[in-house]
Structure formats: structure tokens, C-alpha cells
Amino acid sequence: MIVIKNKIAIGKMATAGKFLAEICEKIVLQVQPGVTTLQLDDYISMQLLKNGLVSATKGYVGYKHSSCVSVNDEVVHGVPSKEKKLASGDLVKIDICASWNGYCADMARCYFVGEAPHNNAKALVQAAQESLDKGIAQMKVGNRLTDISSAIQQSVESKGFGVIRDFAGHGIGKRMHEDPEILNYGEPGKGPVLQVGMAFAIEPMITAGSYEVYVTKDGWTVKTKDKSLAAHVEDTVVLTENGPEILTRL
């Protein structure tokens, strides 16, 4: 069941989203060679606390952290670790989901460590961002759910990149994960008709190679099988009378 959000709920999600967007901007300065992914998570925990946000991932089926930090061929759900030190040239994906007064926003961004990244890495990140925008643009009253999915897949594949099949976006509200599941691939014109008050976390996960992935021994971290570079971006979006409103951008 897709929960329709009222103005009050949307207002709370928007506050959560604004704070997350600010944190994602501030973290640029922290993403430096030599910094561990656990240090980044500690920084994020501190920022959440400072803004009155409650992490939605800490305690989620045993997950212990305020963020997922995924490096290079890690796609999503990278577990912050004091053993994982960032190096110049790394591509880092940071994903944070947190609530404000009971309502969540979920957001992920890509960051480059140190000196100028390789062209292919830049193109991959740009493709992820563009596909997210193309997906969000389909969030219109009367459109159907998989219009979003199809737009993302077409955008990514037109640039020669692969779309991960095993993980998806999701509805969001009081809980981090609500109905519906939002695949990043598929035929358009299927699934529920989109209505005002629906709130979605749309999150294309893409790779420079094959879309096949596996979960590592830690039980969380998702990596590409062929070790190809992966990008992931995510925004929380609510459908209003005036079209999609992105809650996680400033």
C-alpha cells in the first residue's frame, strides 16, 4: 500500500531533506585522502545530532551506522570501517537516511577524493545524476510507476553504462522503506498511477561494466562482480499539484 502524505508530513520530510542536503554539501571538505570511511560516518552522526535528525539506518536489521559509504567498485551499503582509508582518485558514494520529527528523507551523492578523476569516472557520475533527473521528471500525476524506471534505464544505457537490477528505490515516509519498490529498469506504463502526496526515494545504481553484483562477507556491502566502477545518487521526491518537488536539494 502506498501511503499518501499530507502537508504536515511533507513539511517534516522537507525539513529532514534540507538538513541532509546541507550535510551532503558540508561533507565535501571531509572527503580527503587518508580519511577512513568510519571517520566520515562519525562526522555524519555528529551532524545528524546537531540538526535534530535521527538516523534511520542505525539499528535497521542490525546495521550499526548513520551512513553507507561505498568506494569504487562498492555500489551501495558500504559499511563504514576504520580499516578503509580513502586514496586520491577514489570515487565515494555516501548514502544517508534520517528522520526529523518522525519523517524520513533519504539521499546519496558521489564524491571524488583528491586530484582530478578519470574521464570515465566523471562520465559515470554524470550519467547517474542525469538518469536520476530523467526519472524524477516522470513523477507526474497520471503517469505510472514504471515510467520512472524506464526513463532511468534508457538514460543510463544510452551512455553505455549498466543499471543494477538487484537493488531499487522505494517509497518513503515514517519509515525508510515503504511501498512501492521503484526499479531502475523496465518497461514504461506499468504499476500504480502516480498521485499527489506520493513520496519516493529514487536511486539509480549504475556501473561502468556489467550490472551483476554480490554482497560481501560483512553481509551488507554490495560490489560489482567484474570490479567495475559504480555510481549511486538518490533524492527524496514528493509529488505535488505542481509536479515533483525534490526535498533533498538546496
For ligand MF3, the closer CB: 75 or 97: 97
- Kindly list the residues in this chain that would bind ligand MF3 in the complex (CB under 6 A): 57, 60, 63, 68, 77, 95, 97, 106, 201, 203, 220, 234
CA Rg value for the chain: 17
* Distance, CA of 118 to CA of 3 (rounded, Å): 42
3-state secondary structure of 76: strand
Location of C-alpha cell 534511520? 56
Does residue 201 belong to the site contacting Co ion (CB under 5 A)?
A: yes
Q: How far is the CB of 112 from ligand MF3 (least distance, A)?
A: 21
For Co ion, the closer CB: 73 or 106: 106
| Bridge partners, 245 (sequence order) | 238
Q: How far is the CB of 115 from ligand MF3 (least distance, A)?
A: 29
Q: Which among ligand MF3, Co ion, none contacts residue 220 (Cβ within 5 to 8 A by kind)?
A: ligand MF3
* Stretch of residues binding Co ion (CB under 5 A), selected from 6-14, 21-29, 103-111, 134-142: 103-111
For Co ion, the closer CB: 77 or 223: 77
3-state secondary structure of 155: helix
* Stretch of residues binding Co ion (CB under 5 A), selected from 42-50, 71-79, 131-139, 201-209: 201-209
Asked whether 245 and 237 are in contact (CB, 8 A), the reply is: yes
Q: Pick out residues in 104-163 that bind Co ion (CB under 5 A).
A: 106
* Distance, CA of 211 to CA of 228 (rounded, Å): 9
Q: How far is the CB of 77 from ligand MF3 (least distance, A)?
A: 4
For ligand MF3, the closer CB: 111 or 220: 220
All cell numbers assigned to 96? 544517508
For ligand MF3, the closer CB: 35 or 60: 60
* Distance, CA of 94 to CA of 107 (rounded, Å): 8
Q: Which among Co ion, ligand MF3, none contacts residue 77 (Cβ within 5 to 8 A by kind)?
A: ligand MF3
Q: Count CB atoms within 10 A of the CB of residue 86.
A: 22
Q: Which of 237, 220, 184, 190 is nearest to 61 (CA)?
A: 220
For Co ion, the closer CB: 41 or 203: 203
Q: Which among Co ion, ligand MF3, none contacts residue 68 (Cβ within 5 to 8 A by kind)?
A: ligand MF3
Asked whether 184 and 200 are in contact (CB, 8 A), the reply is: no
Q: Which of 203, 205, 165, 167 is nearest to 185 (CA)?
A: 165
| Residues in contact with Co ion by the rule CB under 5 A | 106, 201, 203
